[in-house]
């Protein structure tokens, strides 16, 4: 008993976060994204299930305008571009160039907002709703939840931009930039999956 | 509380032993009902095998726990450490391998049984549409006869004995499940829309009689009221029954006292015997056998040749069995619980 | 708008005390909040169970109407699983995992607080159905299309969906936190394969939560859209598929059942070695078995759907039965730990052994259910109810009580009373078997679950009566526990740092531990750093000075005891 107590006393405590490549916050973001992957996996499963057992033609209900693949294509380009601008921002801050970070973040934010607005416009002219058959339900759910994630991303980007304006990031200290950028790339990848599934795999 | 190690050990043994005994008493015999279909019999046999394996694992593991508690108790004041085993690869492999074998055996037996339960005859004797809806059953027969019911009162499902019966199970609203415990089978009734064809099951009833059935998938407030009763009878009776239903007539009355032109009295008496070893009945018409149980244990009556198996009667009680019409000839009646001790001859004469 | 007048002094005192707990981000306080909150929900769900059992005691409707009964078992199942067993184990994890890792706190203390506070909120929403025309009443599995707006128009079901989504979000955030803590916050020397088994089981559990719960969230959202926005995911009349719900629900639901049992297995793996005075036999085998169970749990979901006629029976039967193998490895490792040991039957050990012996029964009945032909008979009967209580109650809940008795001294600095604990155990154990063992026979003879009433002719009366008596016995058995806890808090024997002569780091600090947990950490050379301090090689108590050079050699053939 006393031997043990002595031993406990004789050692200093080293309880700092482990020194390894990945900061804790980044790991947290990656884990969160893993759960998001499963979430979208669930939604995709509903889509494929409905599509596989659909009796007639798969697509928007008869009488609706049908999907606007051109607009969707443009939105895809917008979002993919925004992934690049985001990454340029990350590279900039890794070099310690906060001015460039501000620039690229602002651009990314603008592209993100453009995407959301474009999608809302698309919804307004499609001519069918979430209650119009199982295609409508799965279509709006998938694209809607993706859109909500883009929107969430733009909120994050806004905060990021505000902090960048105040000069809170540096080459050594910019975990938040890395984290938001991972999230943003993830949202982009989900869109590519959504686009391919709904528009290309017809 | 100073207790010697030996005494506390003895106490533990008594405790543990008492516990096991208690569990066994609670369990009764842990068996499903006597199966009344061929497929049910296969399931029953598989169940017995699985139960035996389960008992083996159960007794082995629980036995070891009790043994370890009793044998390896730390005596008060004993401060020496036991030997510190950290593991042993050989035994790890052993106790991975043995369950693996059990798992494989289970898998093979299951798949074999599954094959016979899911087997489909080329031409079933009859195909019936079972329609489940909140909270009744409808049974639609090929020739347009439809038996309908009302919630809380069992819908009758007449079936022929001894030939494959196919049921197509449909739902008109939420999920339900067709379940007859004595057939050891159940299948969900789901409105699948365009996704898939409705479920089908097939079996051959091996014994005439009435069997309670009930909806087994929770379907709302009336779930417990979704009951039906299978009325299985020999082909001839079945045809007559269905003809009567088709004609819109009330079907022949259900078994009960006073419906029989002829009632034969049989008594079971002390030391596992019938009071007679020969009875006579008229051919070509339904008749009744009244069994009075004067013995101190349960008995019943079965008739081998037509696969009849009556309900058990408790000591001191009596029961009346309605026996469907039989052709003239010599038959054997017996107690299905004591087939060797209690047998007699049943003469059916014109 | 009632105003309470309080003495000004008392006001400030109380406010600061309450505020302290409301705003805490300390993992130990949050852990205790989790545990207390969970036990409140346990009592609520337990009282619902007593309603169920009272109604089923004899044929006929005596106490409640059918609608109330259906709400009772739905709420009972939901609350027990999502607001008792999962959070209470999370609570122990919260308290113990950082301690066992030698860490000062969880990786994300604020997120930790957030995930806790979502729980009472979600649970409150689920329960609030009772205030708005009736709680959800479609079973905890909420099968479509019974849950569609057409068949379940009540707002209770919507509240159930929203509440569960919140609870699910909470556990996802919690899982992120656990994984990050385990990978990032370990003390020097605490390699992955020196982590206590409890930490391993929490790690695998958190991974399951992270990957399974979002799928449930997707399903719940789909259901919500169907009910409120005219969606048709599960509506067959416009191309939806009701069986899809079952796939989604069970894809989550089966991992969920291991989510509730793995940490309990971890608890048991902490307790059995300590009260056997031996190391856990086959540490690595145990870790790999846990991982194997985690992986397999994603491949077996359709064993809940054998009777739907829509799944590949042999595949799912095989994968399901396969889980018996890694689970068996764990069982046998526990048993081997007790072989040639020196066993002390203190209350934590009793509950741990209760876990092993009762979970075994549940596991075996699970294997029986995994054979499709047998399941055709038993599906949706009381046999399944028996199975699920043997694994949930006989498994997880026994594990929870084992953990409570084991770690109470660490959390409060006071011992619980042993005789009272034993009374609790035996009442609990006997009541439990009396309640749930007869259900096997009820199920075999065909009694369907989720019925408020049964026919007196069915022959189910006596067994139901026994079961009801048992249920009240369980309820009574909880009283000694409560008395014990309260008495000990008021006037318990001081526990000291390490009352059990245990092995892991949480016992190397004071009871209760100071903020940020450790003033000094012992060196960590094995999965039993404390044992090592006292006993060195493990043959005789060694002086505590040379420990720096002593490695506990895992592959030294001389020291490999083994059964053979
Ligand atoms: C803690 C929760 C938990 C756990 C751990 C388990 C574990 C298992 N469960 Fe269980 N199960 C539930 C909770 C759980 N279950 C619930 C809640 C339901 C009902 C849901 C509802 O409908 O409401 C359910 C329902 C359920 C069904 C569906 C029944 C039906 O509705 O028709 C099936 C079918 O396969 C099943 C199987 C199994 C199996 C094979 C295991 C295995 O993991 C068990 C493995 C363990 C052992 C086997 C014991 C130890 C092993 C050995 C000693 C080795 C040697 C043994 C052999 C080789 C046999 N369970
Ligand atoms: C962890 C999970 C868990 C636990 C611990 C329990 C515990 C109990 N369950 Fe549970 N049960 C489920 C999970 C659980 N159950 C699930 C998932 C279902 C399926 C639901 C569905 O079909 O959808 C189910 C269904 C279910 C049924 C079937 C209902 C039906 O199908 O119709 C029954 C019937 O007897 C039952 C009984 C009990 C009993 C008697 C207990 C007892 O052990 C409870 C004991 C606890 C107490 C009695 C609390 C003690 C409280 C006090 C002493 C009061 C003190 C109060 C204060 C201090 C304020 N349960
Ligand atoms: Cu129909 Cu239950
Ligand atoms: Cu399962």
Domain of A181, CATH number, reads: 1.20.120.80
For chain B, the average pLDDT equals: 84
A12 domain residue, yes or no: no
pLDDT tens for each residue of C319-356: 999 999 999 999 999 999 999 999 999 999 999 999 99
CB contacts < 8 Å between A and C, how many? 166
A13 domain residue, yes or no: no
Helix (H, G, I), strand (E, B) or coil at B126: strand
Helix (H, G, I), strand (E, B) or coil at C448: strand
pLDDT attached to residue C2: 40
CB under 8 Å, gap of 24 or more: what pairs does C5-8 form?
none
Which of the pair, C43 or B293, is modelled with greater confidence? C43
Choosing among C233, C248, C521, C533, which should be mutated to test the A contact, i.e. which has the most A CBs within 10 A? Answer: C233
On whether any CB of chain B is under 8 Å from the CB of A55, the answer is: yes
Is there a contact between B196 and A53 if contact means CB atoms under 8 Å apart? yes
pLDDT attached to residue C538: 45
pLDDT attached to residue B7: 57
Per-residue pLDDT at C558 exceeds 70: no
Whether C81 lines ligand 2, by a CB cut-off of 6 Å, is yes
A16 domain residue, yes or no: no
Question: B311 contacts in C (CB within 8 Å)?
Answer: none
Choosing among B85, B135, B223, which should be mutated to test the C contact, i.e. which has the most C CBs within 10 A? Answer: B85
Q: Which residue of A has its CA nearest to C544?
A: A3
Question: B193 contacts in A (CB within 8 Å)?
Answer: 53
Work out the percent of chain C whose per-residue pLDDT is above 90. Answer: 78
For chain A, how many structural domains are there in total? 1
Q: Pick the atom of ligand 2 nearest to C474's CA.
A: 45
pLDDT tens for each residue of C455-508: 888 889 999 999 999 999 999 999 999 999 999 999 889 988 889 988 899 999
Cα–ligand 2 centroid distance for B178 (angstroms): 27
- What residue's CA is closest to ligand 3, atom 1? B176
A9 domain residue, yes or no: no
A32 domain residue, yes or no: yes
Select from C151, C241, C441 the Cβ nearest to the Cβ of B27.
Answer: C441
- What residue's CA is closest to ligand 2, atom 58? C43
Query: Residues B46-64: what's their mean pLDDT?
Result: 92
A51 domain residue, yes or no: yes
Q: What is the pTM of this model?
A: 0.85
Q: What's the N-to-C CA distance of chain C in angstroms?
A: 73
Q: What's the N-to-C CA distance of chain B in angstroms?
A: 83
| Structural domain that includes position A136 | 23-200
Q: Which residue of B has its CA nearest to A52?
A: B195
Cα separation, B21 vs C364, in Å, equals 19
A168 domain residue, yes or no: yes
pLDDT attached to residue C556: 37
Select from B74, B107, B221 the Cβ nearest to the Cβ of C67.
Answer: B221
Question: C104 contacts in A (CB within 8 Å)?
Answer: 15
Per-residue pLDDT at C97 exceeds 90: yes
Cα separation, B159 vs B205, in Å, equals 8
Q: Are C422 and C347 in contact (CB under 8 A)?
A: yes
pLDDT tens for each residue of B310-348: 777 878 778 888 887 888 888 888 887 777 778 888 888
Cα–ligand 2 centroid distance for C293 (angstroms): 26
Per-residue pLDDT at A4 exceeds 60: no
pLDDT attached to residue B181: 95
Cα separation, C385 vs C53, in Å, equals 13
pLDDT tens for each residue of B242-301: 988 888 755 444 444 456 778 888 888 877 788 888 888 888 888 888 888 888 777 888
- What tokens does C11 get? 């006001």
Query: Residues A71-77: what's their mean pLDDT?
Result: 94
Provide the pLDDT confidence category of residue B8 given band limits of 50, 70 and 90. low
Provide the pLDDT confidence category of residue B126 given band limits of 50, 70 and 90. very high
pLDDT tens for each residue of C149-164: 889 988 999 999 999 9
Question: Which numbered ligand comes closest to the C-alpha of C260?
Answer: 1
Query: Residues B57-80: what's their mean pLDDT?
Result: 90
A87 domain residue, yes or no: yes
For residue C517, the number of C-alpha atoms closer than 13 Å in the C-beta half-sphere is 29
Cα separation, C401 vs C397, in Å, equals 6
For residue B253, the number of C-alpha atoms closer than 13 Å in the C-beta half-sphere is 9
Is the previous residue joined to B153 through a cis bond, with omega within 30 degrees of 0?
no
Select from B62, B68, B86 the Cβ nearest to the Cβ of C343.
Answer: B68
């Amino acid at each position: 008993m006393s031997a043990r107590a002595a031993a406990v006393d004789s050692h200093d405590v080293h309880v700092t976060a482990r020194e390894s490549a990945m900061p804790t916050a980044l790991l947290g973001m990656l884990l969160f994204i893993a759960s998001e992957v499963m979430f979208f996996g669930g939604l995709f499963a509903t889509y494929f299930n409905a599509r596989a057992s659909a009796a007639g033609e798969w697509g928007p209900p008869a009488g609706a305008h049908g999907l606007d693949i051109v607009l969707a294509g443009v939105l895809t380009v917008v979002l993919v571009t925004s992934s690049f601008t985001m990454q340029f921002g990350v590279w900039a801050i890794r070099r310690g160039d906060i001015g460039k970070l501000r620039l690229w973040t602002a651009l990314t934010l603008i592209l993100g907002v453009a995407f959301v607005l474009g999608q809302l416009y698309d919804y307004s002219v499609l001519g069918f709703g979430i209650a119009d058959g199982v295609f409508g339900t799965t279509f709006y759910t998938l694209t809607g939840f993706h859109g909500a994630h883009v929107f969430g991303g733009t909120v994050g980007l806004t905060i990021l931009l505000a902090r960048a304006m105040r000069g809170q990031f540096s080459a050594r200290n910019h975990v938040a930039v890395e984290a938001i950028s991972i999230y943003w790339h993830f949202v982009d990848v989900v869109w590519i999956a959504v686009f391919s599934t709904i528009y290309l795999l017809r | 509380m100073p207790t010697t190690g030996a005494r506390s050990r003895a106490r533990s043994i008594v405790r543990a032993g008492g516990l096991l005994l208690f569990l066994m008493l609670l369990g009764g015999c842990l068996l499903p009902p006597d199966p009344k279909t061929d497929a049910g019999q296969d399931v029953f046999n598989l169940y017995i095998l699985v139960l035996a394996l389960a008992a083996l694992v159960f007794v082995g593991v629980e036995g070891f726990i009790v043994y370890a508690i009793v044998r390896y108790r730390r005596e008060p004041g004993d401060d020496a450490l036991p030997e510190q085993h950290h593991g042993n690869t050989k035994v790890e492999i052993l106790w991975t391998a043995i369950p693996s074998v059990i798992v494989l055996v289970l898998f093979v037996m299951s798949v074999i049984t599954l094959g016979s339960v899911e087997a489909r005859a080329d031409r079933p004797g009859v195909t019936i549409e079972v329609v489940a809806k909140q909270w009744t059953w409808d049974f639609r027969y090929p020739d347009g006869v439809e038996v309908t019911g009302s919630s809380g009162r069992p819908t009758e499902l007449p079936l022929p004995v001894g030939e494959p019966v196919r049921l197509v199970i449909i739902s008109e609203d939420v999920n339900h499940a067709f379940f007859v415990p004595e057939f050891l089978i159940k299948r969900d009734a789901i409105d699948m829309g365009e996704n898939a064809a409705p479920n089908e099951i097939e079996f051959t009833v091996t014994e005439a009689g009435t069997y309670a059935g009930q909806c087994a998938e929770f379907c709302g407030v009336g779930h417990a009221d979704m009951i039906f009763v299978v009325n299985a009878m020999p082909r001839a009776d079945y045809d007559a029954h269905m003809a009567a239903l088709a004609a819109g007539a009330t079907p022949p009355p259900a078994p009960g006292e006073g419906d029989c032109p002829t009632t034969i009295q049989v008594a079971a008496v002390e030391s596992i015997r019938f009071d007679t070893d020969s009875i006579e009945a008229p051919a070509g018409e339904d008749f009744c056998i009244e069994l009075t149980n004067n013995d101190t244990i349960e008995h019943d009556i079965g008739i081998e040749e037509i696969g009849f198996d009556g309900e058990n009667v408790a000591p001191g009680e009596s029961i009346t069995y309605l026996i469907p019409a039989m052709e003239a000839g010599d038959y054997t009646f017996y107690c299905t619980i004591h087939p060797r001790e209690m047998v007699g001859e049943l003469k059916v004469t014109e | 708008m009632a105003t309470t007048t309080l003495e000004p002094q008392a006001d400030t005192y109380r406010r600061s005390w309450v505020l302290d707990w409301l705003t805490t981000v300390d993992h130990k306080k949050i852990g205790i909040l989790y545990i207390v909150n969970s036990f409140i929900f346990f009592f609520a769900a337990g009282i619902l169970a007593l309603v169920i059992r009272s109604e089923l005691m004899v044929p006929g409707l005596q106490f409640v109407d059918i609608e109330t009964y259906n709400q009772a078992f739905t709420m009972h199942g939901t609350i027990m699983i999502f607001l008792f067993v999962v959070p209470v184990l999370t609570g122990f994890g919260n308290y113990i995992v950082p301690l066992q890792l030698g860490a000062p706190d969880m990786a994300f203390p604020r997120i930790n607080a957030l995930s806790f506070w979502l729980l009472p909120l979600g649970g409150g929403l689920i329960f609030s159905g009772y205030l708005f025309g009736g709680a959800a009443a479609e079973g905890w599995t909420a099968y479509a299309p019974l849950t569609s707006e057409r068949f379940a128009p009540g707002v209770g079901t919507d509240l159930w969906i929203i509440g569960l989504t919140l609870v699910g979000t909470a556990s996802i955030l919690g899982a992120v936190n656990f994984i990050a803590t385990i990978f990032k916050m370990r003390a020097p020397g605490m390699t992955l394969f020196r982590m206590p088994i409890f930490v391993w089981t929490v790690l695998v559990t958190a991974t399951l939560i992270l990957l399974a719960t979002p799928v449930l969230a997707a399903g719940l959202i789909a259901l919500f859209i169907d009910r409120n926005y005219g969606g048709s995911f599960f509506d067959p009349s416009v191309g939806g598929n009701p069986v899809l719900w079952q796939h989604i629900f069970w894809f989550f639901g089966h991992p969920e059942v291991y989510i509730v049992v793995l940490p309990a297995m971890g608890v048991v793996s902490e307790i059995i070695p300590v009260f056997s005075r031996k190391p856990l036999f086959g540490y690595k085998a145990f870790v790999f078995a846990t991982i194997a169970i985690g992986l397999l749990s994603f491949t077996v979901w359709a064993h809940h759907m054998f009777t739907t006629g829509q799944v590949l029976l042999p595949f799912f039967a095989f994968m399901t039965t396969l889980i018996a193998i890694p689970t068996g490895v764990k069982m046998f490792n526990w048993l081997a730990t007790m072989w040639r040991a020196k066993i002390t039957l203190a209350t934590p050990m009793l509950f741990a052994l209760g876990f092993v012996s009762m979970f075994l029964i549940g596991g075996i009945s699970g294997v029986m259910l995994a054979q499709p032909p047998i399941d055709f008979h038993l599906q949706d009967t009381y046999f399944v109810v028996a199975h699920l209580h043997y694994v949930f109650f006989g498994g997880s809940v026994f594990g929870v009580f084992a953990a409570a008795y084991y770690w109470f001294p660490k959390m409060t600095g006071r011992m619980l009373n042993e005789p009272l604990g034993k009374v609790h155990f035996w009442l609990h154990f006997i009541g439990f078997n009396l309640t749930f063992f007869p259900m096997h026979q009820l199920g075999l003879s065909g009694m369907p679950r989720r019925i408020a009433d049964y026919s007196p002719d069915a022959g189910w009366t006596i067994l139901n009566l026994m079961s009801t008596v048992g249920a009240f016995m369980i309820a009574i058995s909880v009283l000694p526990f409560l008395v014990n806890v309260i008495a000990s808090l008021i006037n318990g024997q001081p526990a000291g740092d390490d009352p059990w002569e245990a092995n892991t780091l949480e016992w190397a600090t004071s009871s209760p531990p100071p903020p940020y947990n450790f003033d000094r950490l012992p060196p960590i050379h094995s999965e039993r750093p404390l044992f090592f301090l006292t006993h060195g090689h493990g043959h005789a108590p060694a002086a505590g000075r040379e420990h720096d050079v002593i490695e506990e050699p895992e592959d030294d053939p001389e020291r490999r005891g083994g059964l053979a």
